[in-house]
Amino acid sequence: MRKKFVFLCLIFSIFSVNAQYGPYYHEVGITSGPVFFHSDYGERGDFKNFVQNNGISIGAHYYFTPNVDYKSFQENLKVRIDVGYTKVDLQHFGKYVENGKNSLFAKQLRAMSAKVNEISIGGHIEYFPFKTDDYIRGIGFTPYVSLGGQANFYSVVSSSSLGESNIPPTTPVKYLDAVRTEDKIVASISGGIGTRFKLSEYHSLMVEFNSKFYFSDFVDGLNPNRKVYTENKANDWATSLNFGYIFYFY
């Protein structure tokens, strides 16, 4: 609860800065792209698992630079407010569920699945090492790195094609009492690297590779006991590759 409160305060502070100083300029953008979910579904390090446990992300963004006295802030930094939607379908992939395996364990794993829907609200600081595209005039690339936090409202539905989950006939021992269907709020932090390509004074394209780390291991609806199953080492996290368009208005 304390972590969620801190992130909500961070988001509120960003809006307060904008209200106090007034924006130096405005930009709005839209993005979309594939998202790859890293969770308790599938074998760790398996490439097929990484590629196939994927979904889609869509985002809307508002950018501004506060009209403050620090020239370096205006020339090298942008504040970004984000609203996003993510949808991911999860299954077990890897050597333990290959078609040739007919054990009960393999059948139970193949039958498990989860659907995750998430709405996120948050903010980022973007740092442009060679000055922002407002100070580098003309058409061209403007790389940046970003860091921020979000409040994520997620809904996960876990199921098994063999029947009811969390009972021995349908669920492997490892995942008994570790499967959830729930709606919750969780905080996250994220970082990314990207670039803009300015088409004209008012139009840019952008691409960003982003990683998001959740302060929960239940976003995927699955969390085996870490004390018993020590391979369950990390909370859920996701990587995405987003492509977008940005419009400038002054």
Task: Provide the mean pLDDT of the chain.
Answer: 86
| pTM for the whole structure | 0.84
Residue 2 tokens, joined: 């304390």
DSSP string over 62-88: EEEEE--S-HHHHHHEEEEEEEEEEEE
Distance CA 68, CA 109 (A): 56
Distance CA 55, CA 35 (A): 5
Mean pLDDT of 165-191: 94
Residue 248 tokens, joined: 């400038």
Measuring CA to CA, which residue among 55, 179, 59 is closest to residue 117?
A: 55
Contact 169, 162 (CB under 8 A): yes
CATH of domain 2-249: 2.40.160.20
Which DSSP state fits 129?
T
Report percent pLDDT > 90 for the chain: 58
Q: Please check the confidence at residue 245 and state whether its pLDDT lies above 50.
A: yes
140-160 vs 182-200, strand pairing mode: antiparallel
Band of pLDDT at residue 18, cut at 50, 70 and 90: very low
User: What is the tens place of the pLDDT at every residue in 36-58?
Assistant: 998 888 776 677 777 889 999 99
Q: Please check the confidence at residue 98 and state whether its pLDDT lies above 90.
A: no
For 137, residues 6+ apart whose C-beta sits below 8 A from its C-beta are none
Q: Please check the confidence at residue 97 and state whether its pLDDT lies above 90.
A: no
